[in-house]
């Protein structure tokens, strides 16, 4: 990439993700809403973020909390009205914050009028908006494809005697992207939102839309990139917006196909290698593997170096589908504050666009409900039912849900130590995390050493120092078992990032070329005045140093 010619406004931006159901409830019905988000815009402005990725707020039966949409051009009544959505776009705009809408077009709800029509008869004009197949010879599903939410990926339709395809719940039938009418309808809907002045789209499981069901090809099908190029041309291309695709199947080579500007597809994609590295190879997320620093280093190097010259990285620790960052990668107990700041420092020092998930900026942690009835997530509940019925012990499934279940991220935002964490004056749709008396926004804003102010500083640093945005990434101390270190270089400038990933102390010797004066830009312990020779890092200690421009050779 040539920073002089290829700069984009979103290169130094920081995105904040809001899961509306759990963010702020203004009307007291126990469910977060748009009016609640509007009330908290000043807080987000204070944090310094530039965009809000808004998880779906569209009309929906809420089988999957809004990722099952029955009307793309209306707002779910529990979240508010279209007028409030327009007000949110305008109010955010006044604070220089743009809104990214969540584009969920791999599937719709089964209550979407297209599917309601499609279901009516095999010759209905909407039938081919979805994927229908005849039963197998034994009357069972056409093939053994499994839904991500448990059970077969095929649902039998009594009326027509055919099966329809769904990769998620049976209330989320997959759209047939081979049908040009589907493409045209989605493009029309996207333009309708773009004309409302949104800042772009986050694209839900976008790597699945080029699927070839009969060939059992789901991700990265041959049709995927042409479809995205057509979408780009027909909608956001030329509008200078941010688009980010959710692509669990991406490698750096594949990510370049999406995000090389010359190909005119997306701005960037989310890749998940650092996440799945902590999952069991056989049982996936329901059985965890311990975090491995060596693997994390290898993955980070691969992505940072892989997209160094074309494409762009998105940087994140968590989202609404994942456990809380500090619980997964740090220490949610004794070193919660230190480790939350360390994780923030590592991530915000890298090259790419950082994403902050609501509550991450105050170091919110996972929740441990003891009873399965306290959970709400369709994925956890379905898989719990399916696997315990197959003989997996309750304790084992609950341990999996505690470690990686999606409700960890979905307990209400902790605004204060008051009842229901200040999230609602009603009864919250899911219980609040009992630790809200300790961990909450009000307490964070009152404490100059809080995780919140660390994030605020990191976001400001990104704006002030182009080396953080455009500097090359170079790994350091690759073999060190406890420390993750790298430098960023731009022109004569060098920025050094050093992070201890563990609760024990860590000793290291910096390469000679880095032992020169500089300015500590941020740290999570008392700022260091030297980083020469032998260093000993405190538990989870992390700091960034801007080295004086002098000798740039690494010894
Ligand atoms: C990915 C979303 O992030 C997740 O929450 C959702 O359940 C699936 N896609 C299906 O839309």
Distance 285 CA to ligand 1 centre (A): 15
pLDDT score recorded for residue 554: 47
pLDDT score recorded for residue 511: 87
**Banded model confidence at residue 1, pLDDT cuts 50, 70, 90:** low
**Which atom of ligand 1 lies nearest, measured to the CA of 67?**
11
Tokens 């480790």 sit on residue: 339
Structure tokens, 246 = 């959710």
Nearest-5° angle of CA 242, CA 248, CA 250?
A: 75
205 lines ligand 1 (CB under 6 A): yes
Structure tokens, 81 = 């009205």
d(CA 121, CA 55): 33
Phi then psi dihedrals of residue 389, to 5 deg: -65, -30
Structure tokens, 345 = 């420092």
Q: Which of 315-329, 344-358, 499-513, 529-543 has the lowest mean pLDDT?
A: 529-543
Is residue 252 packed enough to be buried (19+ CB in 10 Å), middle (13-18) or exposed (0-12)? middle
pLDDT score recorded for residue 152: 97
168 lines ligand 1 (CB under 6 A): yes
**Which atom of ligand 1 lies nearest, measured to the CA of 321?**
5
204 lines ligand 1 (CB under 6 A): yes
**Which atom of ligand 1 lies nearest, measured to the CA of 68?**
11
The neighbouring-strand residues paired with 314 are 353
Nearest to 306 by CA among 506, 475, 82: 475
% of the chain exceeding 70 in pLDDT: 98
Q: Which residue's CA is minimally distant from atom 10 of ligand 1?
A: 67
d(CA 122, CA 142): 17
| Whether the Cβ atoms of residue 170 and residue 110 lie closer than 8 Å to each other | yes
d(CA 441, CA 361): 9
Q: Which residue's CA is minimally distant from atom 8 of ligand 1?
A: 67
pLDDT score recorded for residue 26: 98
321 lines ligand 1 (CB under 6 A): yes
Distance 68 CA to ligand 1 centre (A): 9
% of the chain exceeding 90 in pLDDT: 94
Instruction: Tell me the pLDDT tens digit for each residue of 402-460.
Output: 999 999 999 999 999 999 999 999 999 999 999 999 999 999 999 999 999 999 999 99
The mean per-residue pLDDT over the stretch 509-517 comes to 86
64 lines ligand 1 (CB under 6 A): yes
Instruction: Tell me the pLDDT tens digit for each residue of 51-89.
Output: 999 999 999 999 999 999 999 999 999 999 999 999 999
Tokens 């693997």 sit on residue: 295
Distance 464 CA to ligand 1 centre (A): 35
Distance 187 CA to ligand 1 centre (A): 21
The mean per-residue pLDDT over the stretch 239-266 comes to 97
DSSP 250-283: --HHHHHHHH-GGG-S-SEEE--HHHHTTEETTT
Q: What is the mean pLDDT of the chain?
A: 96
d(CA 187, CA 195): 12
pLDDT score recorded for residue 530: 77
Tokens 């955010």 sit on residue: 92
**Which atom of ligand 1 lies nearest, measured to the CA of 106?**
11
Report the first-to-last Cα separation within the chain, whole angstroms.
27
| Whether the Cβ atoms of residue 173 and residue 166 lie closer than 8 Å to each other | yes
Q: Please state the pTM of the whole predicted model.
A: 0.97
pLDDT at residue 369 greater than cutoff 60: yes
| Whether the Cβ atoms of residue 231 and residue 185 lie closer than 8 Å to each other | no
Pair type for strands 284-288 and 279-280: antiparallel
**Banded model confidence at residue 528, pLDDT cuts 50, 70, 90:** confident
Phi then psi dihedrals of residue 58, to 5 deg: -75, 165
pLDDT score recorded for residue 157: 97
Distance 55 CA to ligand 1 centre (A): 10
d(CA 236, CA 241): 7
Q: Which residue's CA is minimally distant from atom 6 of ligand 1?
A: 67
d(CA 13, CA 397): 39
Distance 410 CA to ligand 1 centre (A): 13
Q: Which residue's CA is minimally distant from atom 2 of ligand 1?
A: 204
63 lines ligand 1 (CB under 6 A): no
Residue 167 DSSP code: S
Could you give the count of Cα atoms lying within 13 Å of 375 in the half-sphere of its Cβ? 27
Active site residues: 204, 246
62 lines ligand 1 (CB under 6 A): no
501 lines ligand 1 (CB under 6 A): no
d(CA 104, CA 448): 39
Instruction: Tell me the pLDDT tens digit for each residue of 106-165.
Output: 999 999 999 999 999 999 999 999 999 999 999 999 999 999 999 999 999 999 999 999
Ligand 1 pocket test: which of 17, 18, 58, 104 has the largest number of ligand atoms within 8 Å of its C-beta?
Answer: 104
| Whether the Cβ atoms of residue 242 and residue 10 lie closer than 8 Å to each other | yes
């Amino acid at each position: 990439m040539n920073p002089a010619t290829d700069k984009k406004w979103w290169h130094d931006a920081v995105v904040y993700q809001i899961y509306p159901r759990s963010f702020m409830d203004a009307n007291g019905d126990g469910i977060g809403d748009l009016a609640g988000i509007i009330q908290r815009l000043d807080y987000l402005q204070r944090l310094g973020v530039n965009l809000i990725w808004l998880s779906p707020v569209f009309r929906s039966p809420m089988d999957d909390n809004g990722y099952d949409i029955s009307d793309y051009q209306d707002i779910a009544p529990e979240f508010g009205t279209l007028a409030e959505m327009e007000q949110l776009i305008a109010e955010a705009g006044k604070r220089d914050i743009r809104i990214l809408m969540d584009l969920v077009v791999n599937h719709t709800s089964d209550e979407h009028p297209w599917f309601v029509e499609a279901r009516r008869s095999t010759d209905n004009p909407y039938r081919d908006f979805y994927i229908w197949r005849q039963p197998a010879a034994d009357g069972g599903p056409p093939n053994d494809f499994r839904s991500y939410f448990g059970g077969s990926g095929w649902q039998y339709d009594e009326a027509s005697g055919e099966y329809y395809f769904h990769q998620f719940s049976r209330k989320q039938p997959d759209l047939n992207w081979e049908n040009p009418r589907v493409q045209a309808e989605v493009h029309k809907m996207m333009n309708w939102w773009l004309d409302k002045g949104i800042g772009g789209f986050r694209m839900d499981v976008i790597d699945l839309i080029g699927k070839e069901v009969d060939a059992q090809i789901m991700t990265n099908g041959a049709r995927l990139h042409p479809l995205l190029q057509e979408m780009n041309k027909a909608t956001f291309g030329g509008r200078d917006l941010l688009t980010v695709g959710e692509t669990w199947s991406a490698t750096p080579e594949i990510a370049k196909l999406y995000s090389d500007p010359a190909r005119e597809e997306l701005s960037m994609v989310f890749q998940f290698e650092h996440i799945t590295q902590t999952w069991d190879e056989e049982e996936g997320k329901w059985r965890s593997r311990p975090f491995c620093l060596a693997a994390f280093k290898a993955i980070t190097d691969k992505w940072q170096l892989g997209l160094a010259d074309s494409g762009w990285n998105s940087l994140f620790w968590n989202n609404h589908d994942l456990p809380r960052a500090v619980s997964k990668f740090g220490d949610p107990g004794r070193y919660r504050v230190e480790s939350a700041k360390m994780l923030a420092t590592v991530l915000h020092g890298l090259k790419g666009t950082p994403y902050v998930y609501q509550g991450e900026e105050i170091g919110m942690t996972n929740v441990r409900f003891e009873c399965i009835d306290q959970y709400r997530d369709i994925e956890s509940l379905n898989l719990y039912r399916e696997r315990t019925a197959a003989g997996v012990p309750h304790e084992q499934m609950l341990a999996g849900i505690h470690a990686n279940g999606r409700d960890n991220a979905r307990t209400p935002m902790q605004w204060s130590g008051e009842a229901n964490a200040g999230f609602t004056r009603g009864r919250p749709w899911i219980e609040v995390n009992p630790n809200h008396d300790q961990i909450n926004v009000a307490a964070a804003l009152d404490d100059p050493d809080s995780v919140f102010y660390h994030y605020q500083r990191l976001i400001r640093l990104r704006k002030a120092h182009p080396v953080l945005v455009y500097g090359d990434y170079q790994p350091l101390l690759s073999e060190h078992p406890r420390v993750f270190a790298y430098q960023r270089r731009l022109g004569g400038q060098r920025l050094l990032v050093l992070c201890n990933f563990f609760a024990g102390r860590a000793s290291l010797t910096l390469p000679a070329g880095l032992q020169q004066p500089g300015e500590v830009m941020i740290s999570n312990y008392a700022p260091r005045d030297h980083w020469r020779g032998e260093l000993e890092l405190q538990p989870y200690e992390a700091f960034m140093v801007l080295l004086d421009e002098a000798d740039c050779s690494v010894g």
